[in-house]
Amino acid sequence: MSIDNVLKLLDAATKLLGVLVWPAVLVFALVRFGSVIREFIASMGEFSLKAAGLDVSAKRKQVEATAALQEAIARNPSDATASDARAVVRIATPQMIHRAEKATVLWVDDRPRNNSYERQALEALGITFVLATSTEEALKELSRRSFNVIISDMGRPPDPRAGYTLLDKIRSEGNQTPFIIYAGSRAPEHVVESRRHGAYGCTNRPDELFEMVLSAIAGTA
């Protein structure tokens, strides 16, 4: 028998052995490790379902946040539009929502009802709010606990610059919590002044406020 014929015979025998052996190996694996394999497959299915659930949950929260933010824009005299609300809410990814669910924000405003839809938009993502209607009340809250973000209006009787009064006070004490001024103006000179006092941002637009809060939370998480 020639060398070529011997090699062909060995190749055929190897293939035949493979055909016979692999089913036996598979049967052995299923018998010996069947429970482990089944658990692995089940866990993969559970992971997929959980991932799908997270995605659905995130989309639902995005829809709720968009609806509230559009209502805030409709009630706010700024130049924001409904399309701005839809655009900015897209930054609320599942990962961002996961961070937001752990965040607590202090909102200082003597008329908190004026900002109810802005809060609803952020609460839809899981953010918790603590409200204060005066500088003194805000300082008490800050003495009790820390916050991820502070939002403040500007004028609160009898102080027309109460936002800066609070900001200057906490910065002088070494508190570097991101501080956002949400007031009636976002004029360049007011933005510059707010940053000079140490503010994270200054705006009168609900969509910009939404984006600033999430950005600040991402930076402090």
CATH number, domain at 149? 3.40.50.2300
For residues 49-59, average pLDDT: 63
Q: Which of 158, 111, 166, 163 is nearest to 141 (CA)?
A: 166
Contact 208, 172 (CB under 8 A): no
For residues 179-207, average pLDDT: 94
For residues 92-113, average pLDDT: 95
Residue 50 pLDDT > 50: no
Q: Answer yes or no: is 54 within a domain.
A: no
Burial 140-166 (b: 16+ CB within 10 A, else e): eebeeeebbbbbbbbebeeeeebbbeb
Question: What pLDDT, on a 0 to 100 scale, did the predictor assign at position 57?
Answer: 84
For residues 37-47, average pLDDT: 42
Q: Answer yes or no: is 94 within a domain.
A: yes
Contact 62, 90 (CB under 8 A): yes
> CA 204, CA 6: separation in Å to the nearest integer?
87
Q: Answer yes or no: is 120 within a domain.
A: yes
Contact 121, 68 (CB under 8 A): yes
Q: Answer yes or no: is 32 within a domain.
A: no
Q: Answer yes or no: is 84 within a domain.
A: yes
**Mean pLDDT value across the chain:** 83
Which comes out higher in pLDDT, residue 94 or 55? 94
Q: Answer yes or no: is 83 within a domain.
A: yes
Question: What pLDDT, on a 0 to 100 scale, did the predictor assign at position 37?
Answer: 43
Q: Answer yes or no: is 103 within a domain.
A: yes
Q: What does DSSP assign to residue 124?
A: T
Q: Answer yes or no: is 114 within a domain.
A: yes
- The residue segments making up the domain with residue 149 are 62-220
Q: Which of 169, 161, 151 is nearest to 212 (CA)?
A: 151
Q: Could you tell me the CA-to-CA distances from 3 to 7, 10, 15 in Å, in that order?
A: 6, 11, 18
Question: What pLDDT, on a 0 to 100 scale, did the predictor assign at position 46?
Answer: 40
| Domain count across the chain | 1
This prediction's pTM: 0.74
**How do strand 128-132 and strand 104-108 relate by DSSP bridges?**
parallel
The predicted-structure confidence for 8-33, as pLDDT tens digits, reads as follows 554 555 555 454 454 554 445 445 54
For residues 196-220, average pLDDT: 95
Question: What pLDDT, on a 0 to 100 scale, did the predictor assign at position 49?
Answer: 39
Question: How big, in percent rounded to 5, are the helix, strand and coil portions of the chain?
Answer: 65, 10, 25
The predicted-structure confidence for 56-65, as pLDDT tens digits, reads as follows 788 899 999 9
Mean pLDDT is highest, among 32-41, 76-85, 89-98, 128-137, for 128-137
Q: Could you tell me the CA-to-CA distances from 169 to 108, 142, 145, 165, 172 in Å, in that order?
A: 14, 11, 16, 6, 5
CA 4 to chain centre: 68
> CA 50, CA 28: separation in Å to the nearest integer?
32
Residue 34 exposed, middle or buried by CB count within 10 Å (0-12, 13-18, 19+): exposed
- Sheet (strand 128-132) strand order: 128-132, 104-108, 149-152, 179-182, 201-203
